[in-house]
Amino acid sequence: MLPLALLALLHLYIGWRIAPLLPGAAGWAFAALLLASALLIPAAFLGRRARRRTTADRWTWAGMLALGIFAVLLVLTLARDALLLLAWPLSAPLQLPPLAGPSALAVPLLGIIATLWGLANARRTARVKRVDVPIAGLPAALHGFSIAQLSDVHVGPTVKRPYVQAIVDRVNALVPDVVAITGDLVDGRVQDLHQDVAPLAGLRARHGSFFVTGNHEYYSGAGEWIAHLRSLGLRVLLNEHVLLQHGAARLLLAGITDPMAQHVEPAQRSDPQRALAGAPADAAPRVLLAHQPRSAQGAAAAGFDLQLSGHTHGGQIWPFNFFVPLQQPYTAGLHRLGRLWVYTSRGTGYWGPPLRLGAPSEITMLRLMPA
């Protein structure tokens, strides 16, 4: 009940601050939009219980889009009030600041523009982002070794088979040495989404495609998903490693489970040290797939050279990127922790509201280069 009450209060706050200052019928239209949003957001979660999957997906689409619109309007309303607070000393006593009317009109107008822009960014196929990672002592045979990273696709009610197929086609055109999927691939059960993830069987890379679990796999039945992804030809790394022979050199590729695993499957507790069990002492470079950037401390202690992560979405909708550091050490991009490089993807899909603002999706093409 508390989340619903807070949702209602925030909608009332937006309406109270904006609707009375809009001209003519615009105020009533804005109030109607807020009422629809307040009803559709909880309906999206309740609608998932519908027996027909298409009905559940429609409710989710409507509710998640409403959630995105609400988030944009809330940010704009808060920004407007901060602006008016700064302008308040310049206003005549007991009168509204001169910016009150124009700024109120700007909120819905900017909200429409931002929502349409964010929707287009989220629904397009992720663009390729190329990143070179300098590795000290990299064998000559591994100069230019390429890893195509996918992360946080979130196949589910609003991300379907055509979206996944477009990603697969773009990755295959890169001709990578390895495809790495760093978790949160799905949001839902195998029985509902098996057709939507089917294009993943078409991924092509010289040394194959590899997957590690994210937290959302553990919300969606991780055991069934691990078995199903293996049937599609993906190698699932559960605190383990493989040695990839590439010309005259070998690369160690390891993967750990998400930290959420210990709460659902205690035997799958995330463990970078265990992922190296039995590895040759001279196996290098050592690359780790780990869904969350916060696994970096353990990866550095274990002796890895590079960690590939996701989870953060780069914040997905500005200004929420500023809150990511409250939980994760890195929001997006390439960072250094001692001798360990950590790359955090902004994600290849999206979660929740079908919007991306200030944090574009990406298919990351990483190349190992000599330092």
What range does the domain containing 32 cover?
2-122
pLDDT of residue 96: 61
Do residues 105 and 156 both lie within one domain? no
Per DSSP, the three-state class of 347 is coil
Do residues 62 and 180 both lie within one domain? no
Do residues 132 and 87 both lie within one domain? no
Per cent of the chain over pLDDT 90 is 84
Confidence of residue 169 (pLDDT cuts 50, 70, 90): very high
Confidence of residue 93 (pLDDT cuts 50, 70, 90): low
Do residues 35 and 49 both lie within one domain? yes
Mean pLDDT over 270-290 rounds to 93
Contact 349, 155 (CB under 8 A): yes
Do residues 140 and 203 both lie within one domain? yes
CA 143 to chain centroid, in Å, comes to 30
Confidence of residue 92 (pLDDT cuts 50, 70, 90): low
Do residues 156 and 13 both lie within one domain? no
Nearest one of 282, 299, 281, 283 to 335, comparing CA atoms: 299
CATH number of the domain encompassing residue 206: 3.60.21.10
Do residues 245 and 300 both lie within one domain? yes
Domain finish residue from 122, 144, 163: 122
Per DSSP, the three-state class of 142 is helix
pLDDT of residue 48: 67
* Token digits of residue 114: 């931002």
Q: Rounded to two decimals, what is the model's pTM?
A: 0.91
pLDDT of residue 49: 66
Cα separation, 131 vs 94, whole angstroms: 56
Do residues 91 and 158 both lie within one domain? no
Do residues 342 and 208 both lie within one domain? yes
pLDDT of residue 43: 85
pLDDT of residue 85: 84
Do residues 263 and 225 both lie within one domain? yes
Do residues 294 and 313 both lie within one domain? yes
28-86 per-position pLDDT tens digit:
999 999 999 999 999 887 766 666 778 888 889 999 999 999 999 999 999 999 988 88
Per DSSP, the three-state class of 128 is strand
Q: Name the region of 11 (left: φ>0; alpha: ψ -120 to 50; beta: rest).
A: alpha
What's the total number of domains in the chain?
2
Mean pLDDT over 3-30 rounds to 92
